[in-house]
């Protein structure tokens, strides 16, 4: 039974060995190929064969759908050939029947996602696994259907075109793409058309280039929204389409002239207006925009053209008319006529004109000073009430009202003014060295109308007089060496003077006549506002005479001439071997002074202070010991009677002699240890007394001890313990000493 069931299998093995025997014998026996060819005169040509393989996209696949078949010529349809599929999607997207070689697809495909699949097939002997055919590669193509609409790229589309452009001028280009197959069929072949934007614009049907179709004017419309459609399948039935909007901005061209809003204007200006004051403004319209609308204004040489100016405001494009000359209602014409021209800034041939009439308005004007500002001078030694100068103002109106003058005392109170005539005079003494200039403000007011006030600045310069004597300038410490020789240079001094002019000051230096005979130093005038100090003897001693004083008289060349007397201090210094005074300023004088005995005196003084402090310390320690011993003995013996008594009556009623001579004393007991938690008297004296609870406990213990003791003093006696307590900043007020026992 077993042999009968496996007859087909054995037959297949035998047949395979029979077929492959020439190859096996060639490899094993190394028989040359040429010899085999001689034996096998006829070869059977075998190979793969298949029909074109393709799948249409977007097909719904509910069960495996047949695609095509692969087979080999060696297939005898006896089931001995096994077909195997490899590659893209094998087993997941495509499957192959291993017996027939038929290929099926398992799910819906999308060409736009993957347009083809590359697979490999192999035919092997089902029993031996030996390849029957060499592995072959093939492609399954996904066929396209029109399932994608066109899409515009590079959106949004914004373009510009100048107005008045000629017909056919290029504007922009729109481009759409289609994901469908552009190599096969018309699914991706697009055509363009304009749905909105005609007749101003047109589009090329294949390229999508938009051009100007008719003349456009920006002043009529400055922006167009052109709607463009893209349709696939060359616009045939079933085509898909999409639209986009192209915003086309029309650029301005300078083709319009300015136009005044009206041909004539009327304006007015008050007669008190100053030069440069604005009279009014005019505006010409230009329907162009940007730079094309910029314009300039000018006054044509007609009428009163020189009385006014006109300028162009670059922001508002207005013509600003300003006053060029002063106008006066009382003395000149009360109306002026000018003609204004507005022309395009870049095309002067585009212009317009307008006439302007300007009327002068009469006003009550404030007083006017004859000068814009005043400059005056006065010497610093002028007496109070001296005349400085005058200011004058007039009423510009025909009424010629009376003027009153005044000073705004804000910065200076050294001057006053006569209200009727404007004369300025001093009310305080002046000092040029304190204030060279005085700036005051003078007011002019109409007497009948105080509301009209004018101001003017008055600058008063205080002129210098020679009232300051010269003084030494920055005199440092002056040193002379002990080994100096006669007529040796010691120091050079100079002087300053607060008076003017500083550049022409001339100072002279001298000594008082009474010091010339016994002078230790002399001074020599150099004639250039400096003087040299020279030695008048050979050698100096820092121990005998450490300091010298030199009196110097400094005089100026003013009128009258002023002088000052100053005393210079010259210190003697041991300059060392080099005989140089540079080291003297770094403590040389102090060193010399200390060598002269001051160091010994200071040392003796410090020693006396130390000895005195030691004696005081010893005395304090001794007194403290005596008081401590007495206090220990008398701490429980001092008593105090706690009844004020009644004077003589009390003496008669009670005999105190017994108390004086027969004082009952308690038996001395063993001394109890002092509690460490009770604070020291030193601490209590500082106001840092013990805790209240501890103090109360201490008193309770002493009271209990007195009540329980048999040999105690009478109840009308009160023990006074050496515990003062705290609370009094003045200390104890008792006049009793601790060494006495007081009985009342």
Task: Provide the pLDDT for residue 391.
Answer: 95
Given a cut of 60, whether residue 75 has pLDDT beyond it is: yes
Distance between CA atoms of residues 598 and 592, nearest Å:
10
What CATH superfamily is the domain 46-143?
A: Cadherins (2.60.40.60)
CB contact at 8 A, 364 and 401: no
The CATH class of the 368-463 domain is mainly beta
For residues 670-681, give the mean pLDDT. 46
Task: Provide the pLDDT for residue 628.
Answer: 53
DSSP assignment letter at 739: T
**The CATH fold of domain 151-251:** Immunoglobulin-like (2.60.40)
Which one is predicted more confidently, 259 or 705? 259
Given a cut of 70, whether residue 61 has pLDDT beyond it is: yes
Task: Provide the pLDDT for residue 591.
Answer: 46
Which one is predicted more confidently, 556 or 211? 211
pLDDT band at 600 (very low <50, low <70, confident <90, very high): confident
How far are the Cα atoms of 132, 527, 557 from residue 46, in angstroms, in the given order? 10, 137, 141
- Among left, alpha and beta (phi > 0; psi -120 to 50; other), residue 214 is beta
Which one is predicted more confidently, 5 or 282? 282
Instruction: Look up tokens 């009770």; give the residue.
Output: 678
Distance between CA atoms of residues 659 and 637, nearest Å:
13
Where helices occur in 30-156 by DSSP H, the ranges are 33-39
Distance between CA atoms of residues 76 and 85, nearest Å:
20
What pLDDT, in 10s, does the model give residues 647-672? 544 444 445 444 444 444 444 444 44
Distance between CA atoms of residues 88 and 53, nearest Å:
14
Distance between CA atoms of residues 425 and 551, nearest Å:
44
The CATH class of the 471-586 domain is mainly beta
Task: Provide the pLDDT for residue 352.
Answer: 94
Task: Provide the pLDDT for residue 677.
Answer: 46
Given a cut of 80, whether residue 687 has pLDDT beyond it is: no
Indicate the pairing of strand 521-525 with strand 373-379. unpaired
CA 624 from chain centre, in angstroms, equals 71
CB contact at 8 A, 277 and 322: yes
Q: Where are the beta strands (DSSP E) in 73-149?
A: 81-87, 94-96, 102-105, 116-125, 136-143
Distance between CA atoms of residues 419 and 438, nearest Å:
20
> Tokens standing for 234?
């060359």
Distance between CA atoms of residues 77 and 722, nearest Å:
139
Given a cut of 50, whether residue 249 has pLDDT beyond it is: yes
Instruction: Look up tokens 């052109």; give the residue.
Output: 226
How far are the Cα atoms of 461, 525, 552 from residue 520, in angstroms, in the given order? 48, 17, 13
Given a cut of 90, whether residue 731 has pLDDT beyond it is: no
Which one is predicted more confidently, 445 or 736? 445
Given a cut of 70, whether residue 39 has pLDDT beyond it is: no
Distance between CA atoms of residues 65 and 415, nearest Å:
121
Task: Provide the pLDDT for residue 18.
Answer: 42
Task: Provide the pLDDT for residue 692.
Answer: 58
Task: Provide the pLDDT for residue 639.
Answer: 46
Given a cut of 90, whether residue 434 has pLDDT beyond it is: no
Q: Residues spanned by CATH 2.60.40.60 within the chain?
A: 46-143, 151-251, 259-361, 368-463, 471-586
For residues 141-147, give the mean pLDDT. 86
Q: Of 118-122, 363-367, 388-392, which gets the smallest average pLDDT? A: 363-367
Q: Cα dihedral angle (381, 382, 385, 386), rounded to 10 degrees?
A: -170
Q: What length is written for the chain? A: 744
How far are the Cα atoms of 466, 505, 641 from residue 497, in angstroms, in the given order? 9, 8, 87
DSSP string computed for 463-532: EP-S----EE-S---EEEETTPPTT-EEEEEEEE-SSSPGGG---EEE--GGGSTT-SEEEEE-SSSEEE
End-to-end CA distance of the chain: 156
How far are the Cα atoms of 334, 464, 465, 498, 560 from residue 436, in angstroms, in the given order? 48, 9, 12, 12, 21
Indicate the pairing of strand 136-143 with strand 54-56. parallel
Indicate the pairing of strand 373-379 with strand 453-463. parallel
What pLDDT, in 10s, does the model give residues 272-314? 889 999 999 999 999 888 889 999 999 998 888 899 999 999 8
Which long-range CB contacts under 8 A does 695-703 form with residues at least 24 apart? Answer: 695/725, 698/723
Which one is predicted more confidently, 147 or 644? 147
Strand partners, 122: 84
| Stretch (H or E) spanning 89 | none
pTM of the full structure = 0.40
CA 238 from chain centre, in angstroms, equals 67
Given a cut of 90, whether residue 640 has pLDDT beyond it is: no
Distance between CA atoms of residues 257 and 563, nearest Å:
85
What CATH superfamily is the domain 259-361?
A: Cadherins (2.60.40.60)
Strand partners, 50: 70
Task: Provide the pLDDT for residue 321.
Answer: 95
Given a cut of 50, whether residue 87 has pLDDT beyond it is: yes
On average, the pLDDT of the chain sits at: 78
Task: Provide the pLDDT for residue 713.
Answer: 54
Q: Is the peptide bond before 137 cis (omega within 30 degrees of 0)?
A: no
Distance between CA atoms of residues 603 and 733, nearest Å:
44
Given a cut of 90, whether residue 563 has pLDDT beyond it is: no
Given a cut of 70, whether residue 674 has pLDDT beyond it is: no
Which one is predicted more confidently, 428 or 27? 428
CB contact at 8 A, 411 and 439: yes
Which three-class secondary structure state does DSSP give residue 9?
Answer: helix
pLDDT band at 440 (very low <50, low <70, confident <90, very high): very high
pLDDT band at 34 (very low <50, low <70, confident <90, very high): very low
Given a cut of 50, whether residue 696 has pLDDT beyond it is: yes
Task: Provide the pLDDT for residue 374.
Answer: 95
What pLDDT, in 10s, does the model give residues 162-186? 999 999 999 999 999 998 888 888 8
How many CA atoms lie less than 13 Å away from 626 in the CB half-sphere? 8
Given a cut of 80, whether residue 136 has pLDDT beyond it is: yes
Task: Provide the pLDDT for residue 726.
Answer: 52
Indicate the pairing of strand 241-251 with strand 387-390. unpaired
Indicate the pairing of strand 136-143 with strand 508-510. unpaired
What pLDDT, in 10s, does the model give residues 468-507? 788 887 778 888 888 888 888 888 898 887 777 765 678 8
Where helices occur in 89-169 by DSSP H, the ranges are none
For residues 435-447, give the mean pLDDT. 91
Task: Provide the pLDDT for residue 214.
Answer: 93
């Amino acid at each position: 039974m077993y042999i009968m069931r496996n007859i087909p299998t054995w037959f297949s093995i035998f047949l395979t060995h029979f077929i492959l025997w020439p190859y096996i014998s060639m490899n094993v026996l190394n028989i040359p190929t040429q010899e085999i060819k001689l034996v096998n005169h006829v070869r059977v040509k075998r190979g793969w064969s298949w029909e074109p393989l393709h799948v249409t996209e977007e097909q719904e696949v509910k069960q495996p759908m047949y695609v095509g078949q692969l087979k080999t010529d060696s297939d005898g349809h006896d089931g001995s050939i096994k077909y195997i599929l490899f590659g893209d999607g094998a087993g997941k997207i495509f499957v192959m029947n291993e017996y027939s070689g038929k290929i099926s697809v398992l799910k819906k495909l999308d060409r736009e996602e993957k347009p083809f699949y590359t697979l490999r097939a192999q035919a092997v002997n089902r029993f031996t696994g030996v390849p029957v055919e060499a592995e072959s590669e093939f492609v399954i193509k996904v066929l396209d259907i029109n399932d994608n609409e066109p899409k515009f790229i590079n959106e949004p589309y914004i373009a510009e075109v100048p107005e008045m452009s000629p017909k056919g001028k290029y504007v922009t280009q729109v481009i759409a793409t289609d994901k469908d197959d552009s190599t096969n069929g018309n699914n991706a072949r697009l055509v363009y058309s304009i749905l909105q934007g005609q007749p101003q614009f047109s589009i090329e049907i294949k390229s999508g280039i938009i051009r100007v179709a008719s003349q456009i004017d920006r002043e009529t419309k400055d922006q167009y929204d052109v709607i463009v459609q893209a349709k696939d399948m060359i616009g045939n039935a079933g085509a898909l389409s999409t639209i986009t909007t192209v915003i086309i901005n029309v650029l301005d061209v300078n083709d319009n002239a300015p136009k005044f809003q009206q041909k004539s204007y009327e304006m007015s200006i008050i007669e008190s207006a100053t030069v440069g004051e604005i009279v009014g403004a005019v505006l010409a319209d230009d329907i162009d925009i940007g730079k094309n609308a910029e314009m300039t204004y000018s006054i044509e040489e007609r009428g009163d053209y020189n009385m006014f100016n006109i300028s162009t405001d670059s922001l508002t494009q207005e013509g600003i008319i300003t006053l060029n000359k002063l106008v006066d209602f009382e003395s000149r014409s009360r109306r002026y006529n000018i003609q204004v021209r507005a022309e395009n800034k870049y095309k002067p041939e585009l212009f317009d004109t307008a006439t302007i009439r300007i009327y002068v308005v009469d006003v009550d004007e404030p007083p006017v000073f004859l000068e814009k500002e005043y400059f005056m001078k006065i010497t610093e030694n002028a007496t109070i009430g001296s005349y400085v100068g005058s200011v004058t103002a007039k009423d510009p109106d025909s009424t010629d009202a009376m003027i009153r003058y005044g000073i705004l005392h804000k910065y200076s109170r050294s001057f006053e003014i006569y209200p009727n005539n404007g004369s300025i005079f001093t009310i305080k003494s002046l000092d040029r060295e304190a204030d060279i200039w005085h700036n005051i403000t003078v007011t002019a007011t109409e007497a009948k109308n105080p509301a009209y006030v004018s101001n003017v600045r008055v600058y008063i310069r205080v002129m210098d007089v020679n009232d300051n004597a010269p003084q030494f300038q920055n005199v440092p410490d002056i040193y002379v060496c002990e080994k100096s020789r006669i007529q040796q240079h010691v120091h050079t001094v100079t002087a300053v003077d607060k008076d003017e002019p500083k550049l022409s000051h001339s100072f002279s230096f001298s000594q008082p006549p009474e010091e010339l005979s016994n002078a230790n130093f002399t001074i020599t005038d150099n004639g250039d506002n400096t003087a040299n100090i020279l030695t008048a003897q050979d050698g100096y001693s820092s121990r005998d005479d450490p300091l010298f004083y030199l009196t110097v008289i400094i005089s100026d060349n003013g009128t009258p001439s002023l002088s000052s007397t100053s005393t210079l201090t010259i210190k003697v210094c041991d300059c060392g071997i080099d005989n140089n005074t540079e080291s003297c300023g770094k403590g040389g004088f102090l060193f010399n002074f200390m060598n002269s005995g001051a160091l010994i005196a200071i040392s003796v003084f410090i020693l006396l202070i130390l000895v005195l402090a030691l004696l005081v310390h010893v005395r304090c320690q001794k007194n403290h010991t005596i008081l401590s011993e007495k206090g220990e003995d008398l701490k429980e013996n001092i008593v105090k009677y706690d009844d004020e008594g009644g004077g003589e009556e009390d003496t008669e009623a009670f005999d105190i002699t017994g108390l004086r001579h027969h004082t009952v004393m308690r038996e001395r007991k063993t001394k109890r240890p002092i509690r460490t938690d009770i604070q020291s008297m030193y601490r209590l004296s500082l106001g840092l007394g013990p805790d209240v609870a501890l103090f109360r406990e201490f008193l309770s213990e002493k009271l209990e001890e007195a009540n329980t003791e048999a040999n105690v003093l009478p109840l009308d006696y009160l023990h006074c313990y050496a515990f003062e307590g705290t609370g009094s900043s003045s200390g104890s007020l008792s006049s009793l000493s601790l060494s006495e026992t007081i009985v009342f």
